[in-house]
Amino acid sequence: MARPLSPKLSPVIIAEAALAMVDAQGEFTLPALAKRLRVSPSSLYNHISGKADIIELMRGQAVAAVDVAGASEGEPHWAAAIRDIAVQYRNSYSRHPRLIPLLTAYSVRDETTIGMYNVLAERFAEAGFGPRRILEAITVLDNYVLGSALDVAAPEEVWDPGAKASASLRAALDAGLGREHRADEAFLFGLDLIMAGLERAAA
Amino acid sequence: MARPLSPKLSPVIIAEAALAMVDAQGEFTLPALAKRLRVSPSSLYNHISGKADIIELMRGQAVAAVDVAGASEGEPHWAAAIRDIAVQYRNSYSRHPRLIPLLTAYSVRDETTIGMYNVLAERFAEAGFGPRRILEAITVLDNYVLGSALDVAAPEEVWDPGAKASASLRAALDAGLGREHRADEAFLFGLDLIMAGLERAAA
DNA sequence: ACCTGAACACCGTTCAAGT
DNA sequence: ACCTGAACACCGTTCAAGT
């Protein structure tokens, strides 16, 4: 064996395989990942610096589909452009809900994400917000999107309080739980509350 | 050794020690926890069922200080009561920011948290929301609070895009970053956007 | 009932050796 | 440059043995 003619591995190949494992099982180990790639665990270290590195690669993979440019140029209204980015951002993560808990422990260096912050900042500036308010607005959106993405990842039992539910909570749970798009509808509801508030703040 | 006259351990003792470790180091292992408690690792299993159990105990510990009753009874206006709960809830978590990434992988069975959901549901019903809207509103608040708590936990470098920052983003970062209460102010800004939106939705 | 020590299967990472 | 196999220190959990 040793050194094959064409490499069996690459950062992208590793990230894709790891993401598939996380999607399926909610976690991954280096031995299992190596086995899936028909490779020895130590081989991975020729392409990545450790497990944390793989997690960062998965973040990039998940978010790569976000089209910041489209929202930035095509859309004339700043609020509509920002809303569009938030929706795309959240949808990227909800395609890999079980990845999110792994991401929360690490910081963001992903280019797509930073590109998104850039567009958001420019759009908020265009709306007339000052620097400090811009940082607050981006923070609010980021927090909300990440929290909402976590909601998709959370098991359904999060919302099963057993016998301790009040009548109002019980009715609410019965009305919404198990609905396929429950998390999506709640996300959009809240996003529109936030966007409406930001538009009023701008005026 | 063996069986001391009075037990050296209890779930609360274990949870407190584990929380102290997480606060200090961002993680904990059973061997290290056992060492801190001057006990053998296997002894822990007389009081807890595993590592996941300890994490759930820490969640309860962190959130125990939330006073749902006060907000529920004392406050006449539903929106003010709900806002107060959200603030308390978020503040509990931000006292232990490094705990949050550990929590996100597990579901909630904590009594305080469920009690909080109950009060929220009742208050929203009082405001005239229907069951489905109630579930959405609680979801929105929960997502936002958790996302905001994560923001406290995140290292400051999350917001360091290096040379890739646009002028608007750069200015925003300079204006806000490093400010002691940056995360708190952003949280309150967004919370008030959401609450204002909910009040308009109720009317 | 509660603690111990030995044991198990596993993990992430390093490194000399091979081509 | 890239893969292997052996090795290391460590982890979470189980369980028979002790009192």
**pLDDT tens track for A9-45:** 999 999 999 999 999 999 999 999 999 999 999 999 9
Using 50, 70 and 90 to split pLDDT, how confident is the model at B201? very high
Q: What length is written for chain B?
A: 203
Give the residue, A155 or B137, on which the prediction is more confident: B137
Where does chain A hold its CATH 1.10.10.60 domain(s)?
1-48
- Cα separation, A62 vs A93, in Å, equals 6
Give the residue, A37 or B178, on which the prediction is more confident: A37
Confidence (pLDDT) at B73: 73
Q: Does pLDDT of B11 surpass 80?
A: yes
B172: closest chain A residue by CA: A131
Over residues B96-101, the mean pLDDT reads: 91
What is A1-48's CATH number?
1.10.10.60
Most confident of A7-16, A95-104, B160-169: A7-16
Which of A93-102, A136-145, B39-48, B81-90 shows the lowest per-residue confidence on average (mean pLDDT)?
A: A93-102
Confidence (pLDDT) at B160: 60
Q: What length is written for chain A?
A: 203
Confidence (pLDDT) at A118: 93
Confidence (pLDDT) at B83: 97
Window 32-71 of A: residues touching B by CB (8 A cutoff) are none
Where does chain B hold its CATH 1.10.357.10 domain(s)?
67-202
Confidence (pLDDT) at B159: 60
- Note the strand D nucleotides within 7 A of protein beta carbons: 1-6, 10-19
Any long-range contacts for B163-167 (C-beta under 8 Å, 24+ apart)?
B164/A111, B164/A114, B164/A115, B164/A118, B165/A114, B165/A117, B165/A118, B166/A118, B166/A121, B166/A122
- Cα separation, B84 vs B116, in Å, equals 11
In window 23-82 of B, residues with CB < 7 A from nucleic chain C are 39-43, 46-47
The fold of the A67-202 domain, in CATH, is Tetracycline Repressor; domain 2 (1.10.357)
Chain A / chain B CB contacts < 8 angstroms: 214
Q: Which of B100, B118, B171 sits opposite A131 (nearest CB)?
A: B171
Over residues B37-63, the mean pLDDT reads: 96
Q: Does pLDDT of A158 surpass 60?
A: no
Among B58, B21, B14, B11, residue whose Cα is nearest residue B37 = B14
Q: Does pLDDT of A186 surpass 90?
A: yes
Over residues A135-140, the mean pLDDT reads: 96
Among B200, B203, B193, B199, residue whose Cα is nearest residue B80 = B199
Q: Which residue approaches D4 most closely, CA to C1'?
A: A2
Contacts of B145 in chain A (CB under 8 A): 147
pTM, full prediction: 0.90
Confidence (pLDDT) at B74: 72
- Cα separation, A167 vs A12, in Å, equals 50
Window 89-128 of A: residues touching B by CB (8 A cutoff) are 100-101, 104-105, 107-109, 111, 114-115, 117-118, 120-122, 124-125
Find the Cα–Cα–Cα–Cα dihedral A176, A182, A186, A189, rounded to 10°.
Answer: -90
